[in-house]
């Protein structure tokens, strides 16, 4: 009798497992169907082009003919026989240091000012953020007018205070600094993130610091900056990635001139691909850029453990 009951219970368990298995498979199928459009888009528009560009980096391809396998010839030329590659990397690195530094400092400064409880702050927040969402092409055209050495607003303002304005985009020494100054236009995006972080800092921490006799600067250094350090880190990483991909303004305003002073890395990729029709070489350059950005991002993440503080983290 016990044997019969055991067999009966075993059959029920097996049937239950079978039913659960069928249910799990149906749920899995429904899940796969739900993500199928995204998965298809990823394969067609991201993974496919990514693998294709990797293949093309080992070929000679001018769009008009069939790709011809050349092995590491493109990579050898890029790394050892094309000084313009390293020049463009130097230009991009200088721009990145200047633009990212300005963006972090000015974005945080504006956020600290706009975090005060005074009238009309919503208006100022909108004014400072709006430029960050304007089309890059429109911004480039506007700065062409502002930086005009003869009729530009910036040189006219400098003339009012007795400072002779430079030729900006027509001067090899001032062209790259002009682009760094232009990067200030987009600080509103980072400013909004800083504002959100500042509003999340507990007021109890400021009260405790005040009781200890801390002034404005100690509170900023010992309370505010550590509490918003994750947002600073996020803006740093995104700034590095974005600054190494600058293209629109350089393409519209200078085409890399004067004398290659604004020959950014991505501009070089574009010119090789679509002006000189060296798709294989341009693909190799693109992969070099991807590796550089990946390495810089990993370095930033590696160093973040020493200065980024997360809520609830025990050190």
Give residue 18's pLDDT band: very low, low, confident or very high (50, 70, 90).
very low
Q: Give the position of tokens 């429904």.
A: 30
pLDDT of residue 19 exceeding 80: no
pLDDT of residue 13 exceeding 50: no
Torsion sign across C-alpha atoms 46, 52, 55, 56: negative
Pick from 102, 90, 86, 259: which is nearest to 173 by CA? Answer: 259
Alpha carbon 296 to its chain centroid, in Å, reads 12
- Cβ atoms of 226 and 309 within 8 Å: the answer is yes
Q: Rounded to 5 degrees, what are φ and ψ at 269?
A: -60, -45
- Cβ atoms of 235 and 107 within 8 Å: the answer is yes
Alpha carbon 205 to its chain centroid, in Å, reads 32
Q: What share of the chain is helix, strand, coil (3-state, %, to 5)?
A: 75, 0, 25
Contacts of 302 (CB under 8 A, 6+ apart): none
Give residue 313's pLDDT band: very low, low, confident or very high (50, 70, 90).
low
Q: Which two tokens stand for residue 11?
A: 């059959």
Contacts of 83 (CB under 8 A, 6+ apart): none
Q: Which two tokens stand for residue 72?
A: 């590491």
pLDDT of residue 9 exceeding 70: no
Please report, for the chain, how many H helices and E strands are present, in that order.
Answer: 16, 2
Encode pLDDT of 26-56 as tens digits. Answer: 888 888 899 999 989 988 899 999 999 999 9
pLDDT of residue 20 exceeding 60: no
Average pLDDT over residues 204-233: 93
Average pLDDT over residues 200-209: 92
Average pLDDT over residues 124-142: 91
**Residue 265 vs residue 9, higher pLDDT:** 265
Q: Calculate the dihedral angle through the C-alpha atoms of 238, 241, 244, 250, rounding to the nearest 10 degrees.
A: -50
pTM above 0.75, yes or no: yes
Q: For residues 305 and 104, what is the distance between their CA atoms, to the nearest angstrom?
A: 19
Q: Which two tokens stand for residue 99?
A: 């633009």
Average pLDDT over residues 150-158: 94
């Amino acid at each position: 009798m016990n044997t019969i009951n055991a067999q009966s219970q075993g059959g029920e368990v097996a049937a239950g497992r079978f039913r659960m298995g069928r249910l799990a498979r149906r749920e899995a199928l429904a899940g796969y169907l739900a993500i199928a459009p995204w998965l298809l888009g990823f394969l067609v528009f991201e993974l496919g082009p990514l693998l294709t560009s990797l293949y093309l980096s080992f070929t000679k391809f001018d769009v008009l003919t069939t790709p011809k396998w050349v092995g590491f010839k493109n990579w050898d030329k890029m790394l050892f026989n094309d000084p313009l590659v390293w020049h463009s990397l130097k230009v991009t690195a200088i721009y990145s240091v200047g633009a990212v530094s300005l963006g972090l400092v000015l974005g945080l400064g504006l956020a600290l000012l706009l975090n005060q409880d005074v009238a009309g702050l919503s208006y100022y927040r909108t004014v400072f953020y709006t430029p960050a969402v304007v089309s890059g092409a429109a911004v480039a055209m506007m700065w062409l007018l502002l930086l005009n050495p003869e009729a530009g607003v910036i040189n006219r303002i400098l003339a009012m205070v007795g400072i002779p304005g430079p030729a900006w985009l027509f001067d090899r020494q001032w062209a790259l600094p002009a682009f760094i100054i232009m990067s200030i236009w987009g600080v509103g995006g980072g400013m909004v993130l800083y504002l959100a972080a500042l509003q999340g800092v507990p007021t109890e921490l400021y009260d405790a610091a005040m009781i200890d006799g801390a002034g404005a600067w100690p509170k900023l250094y010992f309370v505010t900056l550590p509490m918003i350090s994750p947002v600073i880190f996020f803006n740093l990483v995104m700034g590095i990635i974005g600054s190494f991909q600058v293209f629109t303004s350089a393409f519209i305003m200078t085409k890399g001139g004067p004398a290659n002073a604004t020959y950014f890395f991505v501009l070089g990729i574009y010119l090789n691909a679509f002006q000189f029709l060296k798709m294989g070489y341009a693909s190799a350059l693109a992969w070099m850029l991807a590796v550089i950005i990946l390495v810089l991002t990993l370095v930033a993440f590696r160093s973040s453990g020493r200065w980024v503080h997360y809520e609830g983290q025990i050190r």
